[in-house]
């Protein structure tokens, strides 16, 4: 009777073999281990049948051969247990190196067990249909197999809280079936259930965990997002370099219903087309993108060109693709970082219609990481109140004293050192944090003016920088007026510095903000005039009272005679418009004298002072005695 059970087991295993090999393998470690476990199981079942047959025909079989067959069968049971543990261990927590170390220990145990089982004596029982083996060799088998089963259960059960619950459940059930079969067989030696129990285990594993269909995307037949996650995780664990190409196809169709369908059709077509490209795995993500993975850079570029050309020729009218190429996966530290990057740059590229490809080379990744660090620094500075304001005095060439100052922001790091705005303002402008910094600075400036009654020290107003990004906010005027009201500050105590912007939309909102603030009593200055993008027309359009000559322009005045004429002409025109001029970046006495001689009203620069913390600024103003500090006219 027993041999029929084993034959049924064999039929089931053959079925699993068929379904497992029908699909192309993805190359996961667990996939390989599953096939090995399946092979050991099949071998075990064959040996089970052979050993029963050998015992039944023991008269005609030499004693040694009989022992060898029966012992090989029971040894294979221990190996099934061993591979069960090794297979499950791909899911246990810990690094690859830790797993390897443990697996080496298990391998040592299984080899020791094998030797012991072969050395110990075995006995056979045969009466009618009842056939089984017993004796010290079988006891050793039980012990070793049980050891592996218990370790697996312990790891999956007690230590497996971080495991995928589905995998944890499947592995636990597999092991429990084994234990139940072993206990039953231990007390009823004539019921040869253990071999069949491990077949049942294989069935559970196959349907629950290793069904290759579960890795496929139903619509396109490419590997799915889950497979992508598992596969890349494995490559990162093994530190195996790979190249990735992400292709996103936004639909050009208008209308919500049509666009996802269009994208799906395009993706299916591209996957079918890409099937002919060798050594490349194609995945579809949950966001309807395709990810191509390959180990060779050449192959990746080839795939990029191939897919791009194909989309251009067949789908150009219907979808707008974007491509993100990662030539070396090791430039990124983890699979999480990989996905974050691919997504991020895909979003960046989608905004950009003309150039739809981006290469994530090491340089770009490095810059991005630096940017991330700076962002984190800015956020923590805002949250922990480490945004500071420095003041740079501005000298009046008419009154021969300091009449105002420019407020310039700084971040104080946790270690007390200072970060200047060049290192964080451009990034804060990109991610929008500049609005919070700007408001914070404006608040501090208003508080400082009010608390120290700056007008009594001869400082009539403080210039505060406004970022282009802030000007896009229709609520800017309202917010700034609220801040001034909170401190009961006279609006003439501040001047807001704006810079030029090409965007018309922005200009409309900016003009509206300016109108409201000017009605309230705030004046404006145009900053950075002369930095390359300046345009005299802009001054004509903008209701500013002051124009600030950029440091580059001031410096060029002294080094190039052409620049000298430009600056003089610009100054005359600005004066004709009844506006005043501040020259920034004046560093020497000669420069200060020349600028004054030119007729410019205000000078700001290191020659007088660098930007100073509030208390030092007050001391500086008080100490200067508010007299001419050089022999100006």
- Binding-site ranges for ligand C2E (CB under 6 A): 392, 408-409, 420-422, 425, 434, 438, 441, 465, 467, 527-528, 551, 584-587, 604-606, 611
Closest CA to 194 of 168, 170, 175: 175
Interface with Mg ion in residues 584-623 (CB under 5 A): 584
Nearer to ligand C2E, 177 or 387 (CB): 387
Quote the least distance from Cβ 467 to ligand C2E, whole Å: 3
Pick the piece of the chain touching Mg ion (CB under 5 A) from 84-92, 102-110, 396-404, 496-504: 496-504
Radius of gyration of the chain (CA): 39
Does 388 help bind Mg ion (rule: CB under 5 A)?
no
Those residues with Cβ within 8 angstroms of residue 392's Cβ, 6 or more apart along the chain or in another chain:
405, 406, 408, 604, 609, 610, 611, 612
The gap from C-alpha 17 to its chain's centroid, in whole angstroms, comes to 39
Nearer to ligand C2E, 129 or 420 (CB): 420
Half-sphere CA count of 408, side-chain side, radius 13 A: 21
Binding mask 508-527 for Mg ion (x = CB under 5 A): -------------------x
Those residues with Cβ within 8 angstroms of residue 601's Cβ, 6 or more apart along the chain or in another chain:
396, 397, 398, 580, 581, 582
For 241, phi then psi, to 5°, come to: -75, 140
Q: Which does 108 bind (CB under 5 to 8 A by kind): ligand C2E, Mg ion, none?
A: none
DSSP bridge pairs for 131: 126
404 and 462 Cβ atoms separated by less than 8 Å? yes
Q: What is the DSSP letter of 120?
A: S
> DSSP for 438-451?
HHHHHHHHHHHHHH
Quote the least distance from Cβ 409 to ligand C2E, whole Å: 4
Nearer to Mg ion, 37 or 467 (CB): 467
Nearer to ligand C2E, 86 or 493 (CB): 493
Quote the least distance from Cβ 428 to ligand C2E, whole Å: 8
Quote the least distance from Cβ 386 to ligand C2E, whole Å: 14
- What token pair was written down for 108? 């040592």
Quote the least distance from Cβ 553 to Mg ion, whole Å: 10
Pick the piece of the chain touching Mg ion (CB under 5 A) from 125-133, 224-232, 371-379, 528-536: 528-536
Q: How many binding residues for Mg ion (CB under 5 A)?
A: 5
Q: Which does 422 bind (CB under 5 to 8 A by kind): Mg ion, ligand C2E, none?
A: ligand C2E
Nearer to Mg ion, 284 or 548 (CB): 548
Nearer to ligand C2E, 210 or 439 (CB): 439
The gap from C-alpha 588 to its chain's centroid, in whole angstroms, comes to 48
Nearer to ligand C2E, 133 or 465 (CB): 465
Quote the least distance from Cβ 394 to ligand C2E, whole Å: 10
393 and 363 Cβ atoms separated by less than 8 Å? no
Q: Which does 326 bind (CB under 5 to 8 A by kind): ligand C2E, Mg ion, none?
A: none
Quote the least distance from Cβ 386 to Mg ion, whole Å: 21
Which residue of 528, 553, 567, 608 would you call a contact of Mg ion, by CB under 5 A? 528
Quote the least distance from Cβ 382 to ligand C2E, whole Å: 13
Distances (CA, A) of 252 to 39, 262, 317: 51, 8, 7
Q: Which does 201 bind (CB under 5 to 8 A by kind): ligand C2E, Mg ion, none?
A: none
Task: Check the CA dihedral 555-559-564-570 and report its sign.
Answer: negative
Quote the least distance from Cβ 456 to Mg ion, whole Å: 25
Nearer to Mg ion, 6 or 409 (CB): 409
Q: Which does 434 bind (CB under 5 to 8 A by kind): Mg ion, ligand C2E, none?
A: ligand C2E
258 and 318 Cβ atoms separated by less than 8 Å? no
Q: Which does 606 bind (CB under 5 to 8 A by kind): ligand C2E, Mg ion, none?
A: ligand C2E
**Which CB contacts under 8 angstroms, 24+ apart, belong to 353-358?**
353/320, 356/320, 356/321, 356/322, 356/323, 357/304, 357/308, 357/322, 357/323, 357/324, 357/325, 358/322, 358/323, 358/324, 358/325
DSSP bridge pairs for 322: 248
Residue 321, SS3?
A: strand
Report the helix count and the strand count for the chain, using DSSP H and E.
Answer: 22, 17
Does 500 help bind Mg ion (rule: CB under 5 A)?
no
| Backbone torsion region of residue 255, taken as left when φ is above 0, otherwise alpha when ψ lies between -120 and 50, otherwise beta | left
Nearer to ligand C2E, 209 or 547 (CB): 547
Q: Which does 467 bind (CB under 5 to 8 A by kind): ligand C2E, Mg ion, none?
A: ligand C2E
d(CA 187, CA 184): 5
Which residue of 31, 230, 443, 497 would you call a contact of Mg ion, by CB under 5 A? 497
Pick the piece of the chain touching Mg ion (CB under 5 A) from 64-72, 247-255, 579-587, 619-627: 579-587
d(CA 488, CA 449): 11
Which residue of 465, 534, 554, 591 would you call a contact of Mg ion, by CB under 5 A? 465
Quote the least distance from Cβ 628 to ligand C2E, whole Å: 19
d(CA 340, CA 334): 10
Pick the piece of the chain touching Mg ion (CB under 5 A) from 38-46, 315-323, 389-397, 582-590: 582-590
Quote the least distance from Cβ 590 to Mg ion, whole Å: 21
- What token pair was written down for 466? 């406004």
- What token pair was written down for 279? 């050594």
Where are the extended beta strands (E) located within 179-286? Answer: 243-251, 281-284
Quote the least distance from Cβ 603 to ligand C2E, whole Å: 9
Nearer to Mg ion, 497 or 500 (CB): 497
Segment holding 320, helix H or strand E = strand 319-326
Total number of residues shown for the chain: 633
Q: Which residues bind Mg ion (CB under 5 A)?
A: 465, 497, 527-528, 584
């Amino acid at each position: 009777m027993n041999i029929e059970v084993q034959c049924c087991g064999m039929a089931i295993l053959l079925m699993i073999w068929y379904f497992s090999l029908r699909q192309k393998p993805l190359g996961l470690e667990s996939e390989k281990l599953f096939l090995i476990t399946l092979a050991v199981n099949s071998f075990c079942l064959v040996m089970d049948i052979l050993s029963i047959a050998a015992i039944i025909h023991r008269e005609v079989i030499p004693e040694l051969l009989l022992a060898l067959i029966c012992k090989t069968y029971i040894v294979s049971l221990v190996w099934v247990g061993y591979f069960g543990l090794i297979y499950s261990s791909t899911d246990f927590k810990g690094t690859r190196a830790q797993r390897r170390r443990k697996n080496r220990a298990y391998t040592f145990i299984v080899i020791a067990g094998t030797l012991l089982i072969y050395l110990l004596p075995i006995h056979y029982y045969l009466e009618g249909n009842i056939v089984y083996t017993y004796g010290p060799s079988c006891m050793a088998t039980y012990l070793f197999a049980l050891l592996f089963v218990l370790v697996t259960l312990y790891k999956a059960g007690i230590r497996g809280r971080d495991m995928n619950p589905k995998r944890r459940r499947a592995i636990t059930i597999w092991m429990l079936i084994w234990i139940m079969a072993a206990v039953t067989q231990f007390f009823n030696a004539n019921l040869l259930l253990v071999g069949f129990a491990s077949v049942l285990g294989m069935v559970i594993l196959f349907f629950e965990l290793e069904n290759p269909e579960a890795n496929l995307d139903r619509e396109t037949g490419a590997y799915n997002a889950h497979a992508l996650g598992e596969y890349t995780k494995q490559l990162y664990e093994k530190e195996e370099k790979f190249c990735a190409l992400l292709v996103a196809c936004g639909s050009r169709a208008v209308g919500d219903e049509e666009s996802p369908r269009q994208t799906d059709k395009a993706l299916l077509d591209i996957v079918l087309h890409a099937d002919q490209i060798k050594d490349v795995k194609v995945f579809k993500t949950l966001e309807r993108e395709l990810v191509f993975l390959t180990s060779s850079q050449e192959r990746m570029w080839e795939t990029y060109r191939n897919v791009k050309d194909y989309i251009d020729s067949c789908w150009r009218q219907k979808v707008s693709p974007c491509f993100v190429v990662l030539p070396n996966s090791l430039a990124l530290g983890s699979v999480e970082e990989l996905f974050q990057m691919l997504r991020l740059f895909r979003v960046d590229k989608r905004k950009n219609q003309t150039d739809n490809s981006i290469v994530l080379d090491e340089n770009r990744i490095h810059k991005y990481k630096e940017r991330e660090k700076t962002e984190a620094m800015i956020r923590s500075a805002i949250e922990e109140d480490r945004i500071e304001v420095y003041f740079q005095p501005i000298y009046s060439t008419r009154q021969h004293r300091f009449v105002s100052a420019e407020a310039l922001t700084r971040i104080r790091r946790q270690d007390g050192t200072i970060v200047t705005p060049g290192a964080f303002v451009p990034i804060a402008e990109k991610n929008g944090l500049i609005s919070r910094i700007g408001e914070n600075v404006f608040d501090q400036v208003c508080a400082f003016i009010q608390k120290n009654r700056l007008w009594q020290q001869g400082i009539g107003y403080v210039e505060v920088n406004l970022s282009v990004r802030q000007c896009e906010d229709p609520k800017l005027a309202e917010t700034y007026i609220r801040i001034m009201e909170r401190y009961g500050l006279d609006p003439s105590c501040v001047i807001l510095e704006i810079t030029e912007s090409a965007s018309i939309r922005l200009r409309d909102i900016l003009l509206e903000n300016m109108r409201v603030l000017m009605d309230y009593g705030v004046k404006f200055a145009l900053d950075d005039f002369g930095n390359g993008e300046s345009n005299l027309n802009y001054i004509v359009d903008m209701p500013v009272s002051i124009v600030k000559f950029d440091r580059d322009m001031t410096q060029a005045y002294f080094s190039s005679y052409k620049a000298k004429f430009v600056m003089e002409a610009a100054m005359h025109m600005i004066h004709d418009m009844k506006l005043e001029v501040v020259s920034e970046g004046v560093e020497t006495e000669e420069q200060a004298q020349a600028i004054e001689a030119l007729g410019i009203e205000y000078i700001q620069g290191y020659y007088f002072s660098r930007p100073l913390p509030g208390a030092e600024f007050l001391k500086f103003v008080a100490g200067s005695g508010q007299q001419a500090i050089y022999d100006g006219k």
